[in-house]
Chain A
Amino acid sequence: MKANRPSDHHAVLIIGGGIGGIKAALDLSEARKDVILIDKSPAIGGVLTQLDRTFPTNNCDICTLSPNLSAGARQKHIDLMPLTQLTGVEGEAGNFTITLTTAPRYIDTEKCTACGLCLDKFPKYIRFTPGLDHRAPTCMRYPRVTPHAFSVKRDQCSDFETLASVCPAGAIIQGDKAKTRQLHVGAIIVAVGADVFSPEALDNYGYGKLPNVVTSLEYERIMSASGPTFGELQRPSDGCQPRRVAWIQCAGSRGQNKGEVSYCSSVCCMFALKEAIVTKERFKEDIETTIFYMDMRTFGKDYEMYYQRAKEDYHVRLKRCRPHSIIPADPDGALKISYVEDGFGTLEDETYDMVVLATGFRPSAESTGLAKVLGIELNDHCYARTGSFNPVATSRPGIYACGVFEAPKDIPETLVQASASACLAGKHLLPAATADSTEPVYPPEKDITGELPRIGVFVCDCGQNISGTVDVPDVVNYAGLLPHVVVSRSVGYGCSRESLDIIRKTIADKKLNRVVIGGCSPRTHESLFQDTLMQAGLNKYMLEIANIRDQNAWVHADRPEDATRKAKELIRMASAGVVESHPLIDHILELNQSALVIGGGVSGMNAALELAEQNYTVYLAEQAGELGGLARQIHRTIDGSDVPTYLSGLMGEVRAHKNIEVILNAVLVDHEGLPGMFKTGFQIAPQMYYRQIEHGVTILAVGAAPNRVDDYLLDKHEAVCTQMELGNLIHTAPDKVSDWENVVMIQCVGSRTPDNPNCSRICCQAAIKNALWLLDSNPDLNIYILYRDMRTYGFLEDYYLEARRRGVIFVRYTPESPPVVEAGGAGVHVTFNEPMLGMKLMVVADCLALSTGFKSDDESTEDLAKIFHLTRTGDGYFLEDHTKLKPVDMSVPGFFVAGTAHSPKNIGESITQAHAAAGRAITVLSRNLINMGASVAQVDKERCATCLVCVRACPYDVPFINEDRYSEIDPSKCHGCGTCASECPAQAIQLTRFEDRPMMAKLEGLLERKL
Chain B
Amino acid sequence: MEEFDPVIVAYCCHYCAYTAADMAGSMRLGYPPGIKIIRVPCTGKVDPLHVMRALMDGADGVLIAGCLKGDCHFKNGNIKALKRTAYLKQWMDEIGIESERVEMVMMSAGMGKQFVRIVTDFLDNIRLLGPCPKNTNQQSNRILSELV
**C-alpha spacing A956/B42, complex, angstroms:** 14
Binds B, one of A199-207, A551-559, A622-630: A551-559
Residue of A550, A975, A981 with most partner-chain B CB within 10 A: A550
A282 CB to closest chain B CB (Å) equals 9
- Please give me the residue from chain B that is nearest to A873 by CB atom: B110
Residues of A within 8 A of B23 (CB): 57
**C-alpha spacing A547/B23, complex, angstroms:** 13
Known: A57-B26, A976-B41. A1007 touches B58 (CB 8 A): yes
A978 near B30 with CB under 8 A, answer no
A981 near B47 with CB under 8 A, answer yes
- Please give me the residue from chain A that is nearest to B75 by CB atom: A955
Count of residues in A whose CB is under 8 Å from the partner chain: 57
Residue of A935, A983, A1007 with most partner-chain B CB within 10 A: A1007
**C-alpha spacing A559/B73, complex, angstroms:** 35
- Please give me the residue from chain B that is nearest to A984 by CB atom: B47
B33 near A523 with CB under 8 A, answer no
Asked if B117 CB lies within 8 Å of chain A CBs, one says no
A556 near B33 with CB under 8 A, answer yes
Binds B, one of A560-568, A700-708, A750-758: A560-568
Asked if A87 CB lies within 8 Å of chain B CBs, one says no
Known: A563-B33, A1000-B50, A1003-B50. A866 touches B25 (CB 8 A): no
User: Which parts of A122-155 form the interface with B (CB within 8 Å)?
Assistant: none
Of the residues B28, B38, B58, contact of A554 by C-beta under 8 Å: B28
Residues of B within 8 A of A350 (CB): none
Q: Report A969-1011 CB contacts with B as 1/0, cut-off 8 Å.
A: 0000001111101110000000100101001101110111100
Asked if B85 CB lies within 8 Å of chain A CBs, one says no
**C-alpha spacing A976/B36, complex, angstroms:** 23
Asked if B126 CB lies within 8 Å of chain A CBs, one says no
B42 near A522 with CB under 8 A, answer no
Known: A523-B18, A555-B25, A557-B28. A999 touches B50 (CB 8 A): yes
Of the residues A550, A565, A994, A996, contact of B22 by C-beta under 8 Å: A550
Asked if B93 CB lies within 8 Å of chain A CBs, one says no
A569 near B36 with CB under 8 A, answer yes
B117 CB to closest chain A CB (Å) equals 13
**Cβ-Cβ contact count across A and B, 8 Å cutoff:** 145
A551 CB to closest chain B CB (Å) equals 5
A573 near B36 with CB under 8 A, answer yes
A278 CB to closest chain B CB (Å) equals 9
A141 CB to closest chain B CB (Å) equals 24
Asked if A281 CB lies within 8 Å of chain B CBs, one says yes
B44 CB to closest chain A CB (Å) equals 4
B33 near A547 with CB under 8 A, answer no
Residues of A within 8 A of B59 (CB): 1003, 1007
Of the residues A566, A977, A1009, contact of B42 by C-beta under 8 Å: A977
A955 near B26 with CB under 8 A, answer no
Residues of A within 8 A of B28 (CB): 58, 281, 554-555, 557
Asked if A869 CB lies within 8 Å of chain B CBs, one says yes
B26 near A523 with CB under 8 A, answer no
B36 CB to closest chain A CB (Å) equals 6
Asked if A891 CB lies within 8 Å of chain B CBs, one says yes
**C-alpha spacing A217/B36, complex, angstroms:** 37
Residues of B within 8 A of A281 (CB): 28
Residues of B within 8 A of A547 (CB): 22, 37
Asked if A871 CB lies within 8 Å of chain B CBs, one says yes
**C-alpha spacing A975/B57, complex, angstroms:** 31
Known: A981-B47, A1007-B57, A1007-B59. A554 touches B26 (CB 8 A): yes
Asked if B1 CB lies within 8 Å of chain A CBs, one says no
- Please give me the residue from chain B that is nearest to A550 by CB atom: B25
Of the residues A550, A982, A991, A1009, contact of B26 by C-beta under 8 Å: A550
B110 near A1003 with CB under 8 A, answer no
A554 near B25 with CB under 8 A, answer yes
B110 near A979 with CB under 8 A, answer no
B36 near A1009 with CB under 8 A, answer no
Known: A523-B19, A554-B26, A1007-B59. A978 touches B45 (CB 8 A): yes
A565 near B33 with CB under 8 A, answer yes
**C-alpha spacing A522/B14, complex, angstroms:** 10
Asked if B74 CB lies within 8 Å of chain A CBs, one says yes
Residues of B within 8 A of A953 (CB): 80
Known: A555-B24, A566-B36. A1009 touches B76 (CB 8 A): no
User: Which parts of B109-146 form the interface with A (CB within 8 Å)?
Assistant: 109-110, 116, 138, 140
Asked if B77 CB lies within 8 Å of chain A CBs, one says yes
Of the residues A866, A955, A996, contact of B47 by C-beta under 8 Å: A996
Of the residues A556, A975, A999, A1000, contact of B30 by C-beta under 8 Å: A556
**C-alpha spacing A956/B44, complex, angstroms:** 13
**C-alpha spacing A489/B45, complex, angstroms:** 33
User: Which parts of B63-86 form the interface with A (CB within 8 Å)?
Assistant: 70-77, 80, 84
B87 CB to closest chain A CB (Å) equals 11
**C-alpha spacing A914/B124, complex, angstroms:** 47
**C-alpha spacing A565/B138, complex, angstroms:** 19
**C-alpha spacing A551/B33, complex, angstroms:** 9
Asked if A695 CB lies within 8 Å of chain B CBs, one says no
B123 CB to closest chain A CB (Å) equals 13
**C-alpha spacing A565/B34, complex, angstroms:** 10
Asked if B39 CB lies within 8 Å of chain A CBs, one says yes
- Please give me the residue from chain B that is nearest to A975 by CB atom: B74
A819 CB to closest chain B CB (Å) equals 35
Asked if A944 CB lies within 8 Å of chain B CBs, one says no
Residues of A within 8 A of B7 (CB): 1007
- Please give me the residue from chain B that is nearest to A465 by CB atom: B25
**C-alpha spacing A955/B80, complex, angstroms:** 11
User: Which parts of A847-885 form the interface with B (CB within 8 Å)?
Assistant: 866, 869, 871, 873, 879
B34 CB to closest chain A CB (Å) equals 9
Asked if B102 CB lies within 8 Å of chain A CBs, one says no
**C-alpha spacing A181/B41, complex, angstroms:** 51
Residues of B within 8 A of A956 (CB): 74-75
- Please give me the residue from chain A that is nearest to B47 by CB atom: A982
B36 near A1000 with CB under 8 A, answer no
Asked if A549 CB lies within 8 Å of chain B CBs, one says yes
Residues of B within 8 A of A999 (CB): 38, 47, 50
Of the residues A521, A977, A1004, contact of B45 by C-beta under 8 Å: A977
**C-alpha spacing A983/B58, complex, angstroms:** 24
**C-alpha spacing A1003/B143, complex, angstroms:** 14
Asked if A59 CB lies within 8 Å of chain B CBs, one says yes
User: Which parts of B46-61 form the interface with A (CB within 8 Å)?
Assistant: 46-50, 53-54, 57-59
**C-alpha spacing A524/B14, complex, angstroms:** 11
Residues of B within 8 A of A743 (CB): none
**C-alpha spacing A1008/B18, complex, angstroms:** 23
Of the residues A523, A979, A983, A1003, contact of B57 by C-beta under 8 Å: A1003
**C-alpha spacing A999/B51, complex, angstroms:** 11
User: Which parts of B1-26 form the interface with A (CB within 8 Å)?
Assistant: 7, 9, 14-15, 18-19, 21-26
- CB pairs A–B below 8 angstroms (25 shown): A57-B23, A523-B19, A524-B22, A547-B22, A549-B25, A551-B25, A555-B28, A555-B116, A563-B33, A869-B71, A871-B108, A891-B19, A953-B80, A977-B42, A977-B44, A978-B41, A982-B44, A982-B50, A991-B45, A996-B47, A996-B49, A999-B38, A1007-B58, A1008-B140, A1009-B58
The 10 closest A-B pairs by CB, nearest first: A978-B45, A550-B25, A977-B74, A979-B44, A554-B25, A955-B75, A982-B47, A1007-B58, A562-B33, A1007-B57
Beyond the given A551-B22, A573-B36, A982-B48, please list 4 additional residue pairs across the A-B interface where CB-CB is below 8 A: A58-B26, A521-B25, A547-B37, A557-B30
